[in-house]
Structure 1
Amino acid sequence: MRKQFIDTGEIVTTHGVRGEVRVYPWSDTPDFLCGFDSFYLDAKGARRMEVERARVHKNVVVVKFKGIDTIEEAEKLRGKTLYIDRDDCELEDGEYFIQDLIGLRVLDADTGACYGEISDVSQTGANDVYHIRGEGGRERLIPAIKEVVVSTDPDAGEMRIRPLEGLFDED
């Protein structure tokens, strides 16, 4: 089951003396976090923090929350994980949150054979790489490209692939 509130970054320190914090983003780009009006300090969405302003600064996002006006108040947020509400985010067609991919069964698009489950996703720059852990713990890597990934259905819990020649050949 997909989580409603998605962990998206960590407050790593304060910024200045007027209550701003630096957030290390866990997204493809820091810009992604600048589009939200609020974040949550828990995975259940109970502690909502309204954003007054947000901007990218180097590799972090500097966020000013409403009601957090001093460095002392901001310091209390250090180390906290920020969450976003899934409903506040629109992904492009074919884009998924990594946490929605972890645990998907990976099946051969032609034969239905199960290769294992996605255990991790590496972001390489050119394309993502899916780590598939099969029976016996063997890990295989597949590129997340349209020539390999035929379909992805997180609601059904599966991904169908057509491996490139030699990708799954035994040693």
Structure 2
Amino acid sequence: MDAEISLRVDGQAHRLTVDTRTTLLDAMRERLGVTSPKKGCDHGQCGACTVLLDGERQLPCLALAVAHDGAEITTADGLAPPGELHPVQQAFLDQDAFQCGYCTPGQVCSAVAVLDEVARGWPSHASTDLTADPELDHDEVSERMSGNLCRCAAYVNIVPAVQQAGGRS
């Protein structure tokens, strides 16, 4: 069975007809040509496909496209105006926080969400005081980024990149 949906991806509106079993990731990559979110495990375990869905980080490999009709999706490609870099993207470059780059778009989107969560005062499992504003220390960033795996093990530079983007170098 097919359904017509609309999505706004990186600021651009799209209407498309999809099979009701199509994941949001497949709709973006195969139907819209949006290849920034990577298909890694296709099981929600690696985080390579992480995007911001209506402002929150999500794994589109686990979401059906029809369930997100009208959604606003931001990928790593849509974080900054053309020709410019988002502060997280700049920090990843400054800190050399990638090697092969396959996981980088998902890492970047996740890092943007991490900084938003910290700004909102949301605690994580690593937060020692649940009533205090979270700190961007190593353990806090590592915990919040733990859903994004890097086969190259660039974590030693990813954590400082998130800290730099958050204003803590």
Structure holding more helix per residue: 2
Shared fold, TM over 0.5: no
Structure-1-length-normalised TM-score: 0.24
Which structure has greater strand proportion? 1
Q: Quick one: higher RCO (CA 8 Å, sep 6+), 1 or 2?
A: 2
TM-score when scaled to structure 2? 0.24
